[in-house]
Each structure stands twice: as structure tokens, then as C-alpha cells.
Structure 1
């Protein structure tokens, strides 16, 4: 989405020629492929660990770090592989997204019209909110896992809260949705 917004703001006249259906499919499939390959490495290392102690993890879902903490064998290499994969999956995309948004902000400051600046900023603000909430909590839990009780809370935010907020953040910006909410609110007030 950051690339799409950057392209739309920096090259508005060439946007449709560049953002073809083929490119959209490639941009949608690429993260899935990278995610599967990246998760496979820590999965293989975790699978090879020996487990002989308790079988209850201190987490609300089966994540790599809490599972690895139950191992009887030394999980040092496994934890390094997991942290490296987490760095690749969370930190690099976050840096790329921030870089694209810095480029967008530079372009927006070059726009002379205050109304156009406001429209461009409002287009990006909702995505930046979701990205920030997701990446910061996910990086805190996964890149350097500490196994604290805060990790469960932060994992709850990136695994459940962010996906739940996502549709609301994007749909409430839509003018048709706003009109429909105002209209339904008026109908409810009139019925009382």
C-alpha cells in the first residue's frame, strides 16, 4: 500500500500505466511467497528441538519464542534463526514503508495548494496508523523475544486488535460510509 500511495502521489499521470493488473498480482503474491519461505527456516529449526518438559506455553497462541522456551535442548541457534527471520519479515518491510512515506511527505511539501496537501496527508494517515501499530508491536515481540508477560499483550495487539481495527480505519474515511452512518443516526434519532 505504501508503494501504491507513493506511486499515486509522485506519478499521478502515469499511475494507471505503471500499476497494471499484473503488477498488482505480483505485489499481492510476493509477500505470501516471502512469508512462507521465511517462516520455514525457524520452523525447521524449532521442529528439530527436543521437548521433554512441560507442554503448556505461556502465550495465547503457539508462537515460535514461547514454544522454543519449552525445549530441553539448547535453542540458541533456533532463536538466532527465529530472530533473523523476524528481522527480515518485520524490520525490512517497516524500513521500506517508512522510506516510501518519507518520500511521500517530501512530495506533499512541494505541493502548493493547502487543500491538495490535506487530501494527500489524509490518504496516507490511516495506512500509516495501521502500519505503525502492527509493525512496532510485532517487532517488539518477535525480533528480540524476551518471554515477558508484556509479549502476550503486544502479540494480542498485532494478531487481533490491528486486523479488527483495519476495516474501521479504512471505511470511516470513505465519504459514502460517513453519509450512511449519519443517515442511520438521524433515522434512529427520529424514531425516538
Structure 2
């Protein structure tokens, strides 16, 4: 008890994934397995796009940025969670908590912006193919990537500084597996309702508007594909769009756009798993590893390595 009290005066305590869960070690093991799969899938995708000249196109450039974001996103929370669980040391310093929150918010915001820009890329490619090479130039692609990273970082810096300035009463126990903003706000001694309204407005910009734009883009794409009478293309568009909305943006809406008192820590953790852990693992499968061009590039690399041996 003395050790816990001393720790609570300087550090936060991350209670981890569902503290009351009987088989927590099994859950952590599964999450670590998902982490390894996400690292492998996204790293392979980045490598293939880098080495294969046929993949040096706007679509694959944006996909490489998405994979890089996902690599950093899942790495900002899972390694610390696994180390805490198996070491028994659940504390995280005030600065460490702020840094973790900054990276999670920054990468999450960057992914929201990038997914929107990727849907625009597909919209131009399918609905205005003759203008694609003129619209999606190398300069435009770089600007899209910079806008995604910069927009996420700027928003995150402001949100992190403001969130961490709230005083905390009692034990600094965060009922979560990482320092997520809503979980930190629940520890505050002060009334955070005004700030939660600010978070709601910001979430409209980073979650609801991207959600709407992605929906609009994919509806237009679907209508175009429908007129082409291409069942394969139609199914691919629907699968990609539904994965976007259900695994990433929709859970984010619940966590960041509803009052903290309206949902339980267990619900927050479950939803966080979807967009911070499962989505980075599934994105390579959803977007590229089942793509014929990527499969061809993978076979080419494997064949080259086997022949060299």
C-alpha cells in the first residue's frame, strides 16, 4: 500500500485490459500475437511498395503512409501494455503518459485524414479516370501525406497539453491499457464538461466529417461500378468501405463524441481495441495484401530471394 501511495503521487497507474478478467494473460497473449501480425503485414507492405517500381503510384504511396501510421499507432500502446502485464509494474510517469497520449491522438487523427484522402483518390480513379494523372500528381500526394501528419500532430499537441493540465484527485489509476484522453479526464477533480464539448467539436472535424466524406466517396464509386455491371468490383468496394466505417471511425465516434459518463470503462477499452489494435492488423489485408499487383510484387521478391540462394 505504501508503495502504491508513493507511486500515485508522481506516476499514473495503468490498470490494464479488463482488470477483473480471470484470464487476462490469455488476452494479452492474443493481443501480442495481433501486434506481431500487424508489424509483419504493414512492414511487408511498406517494403514491397518501396522496392517494386510498378507500385510507385499515388494509391500505393498513400497506402504506404497508412501502413507507417498503423505501425506506429499499434506500437504506441501494445508494447507498454505487454511489458506492464508481465513485469507487474503498471506505473507510467506523468511525462510518459502525456507522450503516449500525444502519439495516440496524433496518429489517430492522421489516420482519419489519410483515410479521407485515400477515398478521394479512389473516387477520382473510378469516377474520373481521365483526370486521374492530372489530379493525383506526385506533389499532390506528398501534400496529402504532409497534411495528414501535420493535422494529426497539431490537434494532438493542443489536446494533450490541455488534458494533462487538469488536476487529478486521489489515486491516479487509469482504468485502461494506455493513456487515452477520455480515461484521463475521468480522473480530474474539476468539471470537464466544457472541455468535453470542445472534444466533441474537434471530433466532428476529425471523425464525423471524414466519416461523411468517405461515405459520399464510396457511394459515388459504388454507383459508378454498379453502372459498369462489375460484381467483383462492387463487392471489393463494399468490403473496403464497410471495414473503414465499422472498425475505425464508428468506434471512435462512441469514445470521443459521447459523454464519458454514458459508457463504461469496459466499453471504452473494447472499442479502443478495435481502432488501435485490430485495425492496424486488418488494414494490410483490406487494402493491399489481397491485391493482385501486391501479390505479384510479393512473388517477385520471394522468387528473387530464392534464386539468389
**TM-score scaled to structure 2, two decimals?**
0.52
1:10 aligned onto 2:127? yes
In the alignment, the residues of structure 1 paired with residue 285 and residue 238 of structure 2 have an alpha-carbon distance, to the nearest angstrom, of 13
Runs of at least 4 residues off by over 6 Å: none
1:153 aligned onto 2:270? yes
Alignment coverage as a number of residue pairs:
178
Call closer, same or farther: CA 1:44–1:84 in 2, change over 3 Å: farther
In the alignment, the residues of structure 2 paired with residue 126 and residue 20 of structure 1 have an alpha-carbon distance, to the nearest angstrom, of 27
Q: What's the CA shift for 1:123?
A: 4.5
Call closer, same or farther: CA 1:40–1:172 in 2, change over 3 Å: closer
Partner in structure 2 of residue 129 of structure 1 = 242
**TM-score scaled to structure 1, two decimals?**
0.81
What's the Cα RMSD here? Answer: 2.4
In the alignment, the residues of structure 1 paired with residue 272 and residue 159 of structure 2 have an alpha-carbon distance, to the nearest angstrom, of 18
- Alignment equivalent of 1:109, drawn from 226, 240, 243: 226
Unpaired runs of 5+ in structure 1?
182-192
SS at match of 1:110: helix
Q: How does 1:13-32 map to 2 (within 5 A)?
A: 13-32=130-149
Partner in structure 2 of residue 46 of structure 1 = 163
Call closer, same or farther: CA 1:128–1:92 in 2, change over 3 Å: same
Call closer, same or farther: CA 1:95–1:88 in 2, change over 3 Å: same
Comparing both chains, which one has the higher relative contact order based on Cα–Cα distances under 8 Å and sequence gaps of 6 or more? 2
Unpaired runs of 5+ in structure 2?
1-117, 300-309
